[in-house]
Homo-oligomer: A and B are copies of this chain.
Amino acid sequence: MKKIKPISGFPEWTLEQRLVEQEVLRIIREKFELFGFAPLETRSVEPLEHLLKKGETDKEIYVLRRLQAESDEGGKLGLHFDLTIPFARYLMQNRADMVFPVKRYQIQKVWRGERPQEGRYREFYQADIDVVAQDQLPLQFDAEMPRLLHTVASALPMPPITVMVNNRKVMEGYYRGLGVEEIAPVLRTVDKLAKIGHGGVMKALVEEVGLTTEIAGKCLALASIRSEDSSFVEAIRALGVSHPILDEGLEELGFVMDQLADLPAGAVVADMSIARGLDYYTGTVYEGVMQGLEGLGAVCSGGRYDNLVDGGNITFPGVGVSFGVTRILGKLFGDGRIEASRKTPSAVLVALTSDERRSDSVAVASALRSRGICSEVYHLPQKYGKQIRYAERKGIPFVWFPEADGSGGHEVRDIRSGDQESADPATWSPPEEDLSVRILVK
C-alpha cells in the first residue's frame, strides 16, 4: 500500500495532542469570557479585494475556485489570513445591531500561503481578542490586554509569558524630536533588533535609512530602555529629546504600566525596542514571549489601531491581541514538553464477560456515564488479559469487571497499581485526578 505523506505547513496532531489542544483552547475561551468578551466566529472566506486592502499580504492568500465553476463567477473569495480584517468587516456590516464598545474574542484557523518552515504554518489557530469603541476608546483597555494575557497564560499548562509593551507615539515623537522625517523605515529597522543585534541595526540605520551615526545612536539608546514599572519615563527624559507626540506617548505608556503595577514581577515590561511591523498600529503595541522559550519569538502580539475599521465619518478605534496557539503547541509538542495523561477521554473500560452478558456491561457503562464518568465497553468477550492490554495501550486507568465472580458483585481494578476492589456502578468514582484527561508538563 502506498505510504501517505503529510502536507508541509498543514500540521495535524495525534488524538492525544488534540486532547491537549482542546484543553488549551477551552482555558483560553474561559479566561476571555471571564473578562466579559463575547465569542464571534466569522466565515472562513472574504472577498479577495477586501483581503488585498491591507497590502503586503497578497502573496500569502489562498484563493478559492469551485472545481466545476464557469470561467468567472463574480467576485473571487480568499481564505482569511488573520482574524482582525474579518472582525472589522463584520463590525461594519452589523454595526446597527452592535453595542459599543464591542468586546469580542475569536478563535479560528487562518491560512497563509507562506513557505513553511519551523514555527511557520500554512494553516493554524489564532486566538484573538479585541475591543472596538465608537469615537473614543479609553486607555483602560490598553491596560486590560496585558492583564488578560497574563491571566490566560497563568492558567495554561505552559511556561509563563512576559508581555513587552511599547507605544508607537513614544517612538515616533522621539524620532521626530531628533529631526527624523521618515518614521516608518526607522521603525522597521529597530524592529529587527532581536534578530540582527545592535551592530546590525546601527549599520542599517546609517547605511540603508541614511541617518547620521549620532542620530542612529540616539535611536538605539531609546530602544535599549526597558523597565518593569513606569521608571522608563525618566530614563527617556534623560536622553534629552522632546516633542509633543513623545509626551503623549509617555503619558499613555506610563498610565498602562501604572495600571498593571499589581501584576507579578516579569509579567509585563515596558520595552522601547518593541516596534511591531504592522502599519496600522497607532499607539500601544504588545509582544509576548514565553519565559525560557524566548527563541521561539513572539507567541502573542497586538496593539491599538485607530483607523483599521472603515466607518466613514465615524472613527472606530480598537485595541487587541492575538495568541498564536498552533505556533506555541507546535513548539511544545516538538520538544516533548507537553502531553496528555492518556490517549482517550475514557476513565473506565468495562470488561465484556460474554456475548450473552453484554447488556450487563452496557448497564455499568451507562450508570457511570450518568454521573459524568467517561466509560467504554470492551467490544469482544476475550480473555481479561487482552482487555486489560487494550486499556493499557490507550492509557485508560481503570478496568471494571461486572459481576466478577458470577454472584453479581462488581470489581474495579486500577491497572497501574494492580489494586482491585469491589465497587458499585451507582456510587463508585475514580479519584479526582483520574476523572478527566490531565495535561502533563515536562
Binding site for B on A (CB under 8 A): 1, 4-7, 10-16, 18-19, 21-22, 29, 33-45, 47-48, 58-69, 77-79, 89-90, 92-94, 97, 99, 101, 103-104, 109, 111, 113, 123, 133, 137-138, 140-141, 151, 259, 310-312, 343-346, 349, 358-359, 362, 369, 372, 374-377, 379-380, 390, 393-394, 396
User: What are 15 residue pairs bridging A and B, where the CB atoms are less than 8 Å apart in the complex?
Assistant: A1-B312, A15-B38, A15-B39, A15-B40, A18-B41, A36-B344, A38-B345, A44-B111, A58-B67, A59-B66, A62-B66, A63-B64, A138-B379, A140-B377, A140-B379
In this complex, which of A45, A66, A396 has the most chain B Cβ atoms within 10 angstroms of its Cβ?
Answer: A66
Contact present for A77 and B45 (CB under 8 Å): no
CA A145 – CA B37 in complex, angstroms?
Answer: 36
In the complex, the count of this chain's copies comes to 2
- If A22-B39, A62-B65, A141-B379 are given as contacts, then 19 extra A-B residue pairs at C-beta distance below 8 Å, sorted by A number, are A1-B310, A7-B43, A11-B43, A12-B43, A12-B90, A16-B38, A18-B38, A18-B41, A19-B39, A34-B372, A34-B375, A36-B374, A38-B344, A44-B123, A62-B64, A62-B66, A63-B64, A63-B67, A101-B379
Shortest Cβ gap from A230 to chain B (Å): 14
A36 contacts which of B111, B259, B375 (Cβ < 8 Å)? B375
Which residue of A59, A123, A140, A394 has the most chain B CB atoms within 10 A of its CB atom?
A140
Q: How far is the CA of A39 from the CA of B140 in the complex (A)?
A: 39
Least CB separation from A114: chain B residue: B66
Task: Give the complex CA separation of A401 and B67 in angstroms.
Answer: 59
Complex: A40 Cα to B271 Cα, angstroms: 40
Q: Closest residue to A344 on the B side, CB-wise?
A: B38
Of listed A16, A58, A374, residue having the most chain B CB within 10 A: A374
Question: Which residue from chain B places its CB closest to the CB of A97 in the assembled complex?
Answer: B14
Cα distance A13–B64 in the bound complex, in angstroms = 22
Q: Are A38 and B140 in contact (CB under 8 A)?
A: no
- Give chain B nearest CB distance to A175 CB in angstroms: 30
* Complex Cα–Cα for A424 and B113 (A): 53
Return A12 CB to nearest CB of chain B, in Å. 6
- Interface contact B344-A103, CB-CB below 8 Å: yes
Given the contacts A59-B68, A393-B99, A77 and B345 also touching, CB distance less than 8 Å? no
- Cβ contacts under 8 Å, A7 to chain B: 43, 45, 47, 77
Query: Known: A68-B59, A99-B394, A140-B379. Is A13-B1 also a contact (CB below 8 A)?
Result: no
- What B residues does A40 contact at CB under 8 A? 15, 18
Give chain B residues whose Cβ lies under 8 Å from the Cβ of A48. 67
Cα distance A344–B102 when bound, in Å?
10
* A7→B77 CA distance, assembly (Å): 10
Contacts of A62 in B (CB 8 A): 64-67
Evaluate whether A376 and B45 lie within 8 angstroms (CB atoms) in the complex, with A14-B94, A14-B97, A113-B69 already known. no
Question: Are B64 and A15 in contact (CB-based, < 8 A)?
Answer: no
Residue from the list B60, B67, B310, B376 in contact with A78, Cβ < 8 A: B67
B259 contacts A359, CB within 8 Å?
yes
A58-B68 CB under 8 A given contacts A19-B38, A344-B38: yes
In the assembled complex, the CB of A77 is this many whole angstroms from the nearest CB of chain B, namely 7
Chain B residues with CB under 8 Å of A89's CB are 4
Cβ of B42 and Cβ of A12 under 8 Å apart?
A: yes
Tell me the smallest distance from the CB of A110 to a CB of chain B, in Å: 11
Q: Are A1 and B311 in contact (CB under 8 A)?
A: yes
Taking a contact as CB atoms under 8 Å apart, the answer to whether B101 and A4 are in contact is no
A36–B66 contact, CB under 8 A?
no
What is the CA–CA distance of A367 and B390 in the complex, to the nearest angstrom?
46
- B-chain residues with CB within 8 Å of residue A394 when the two chains form the complex: 99
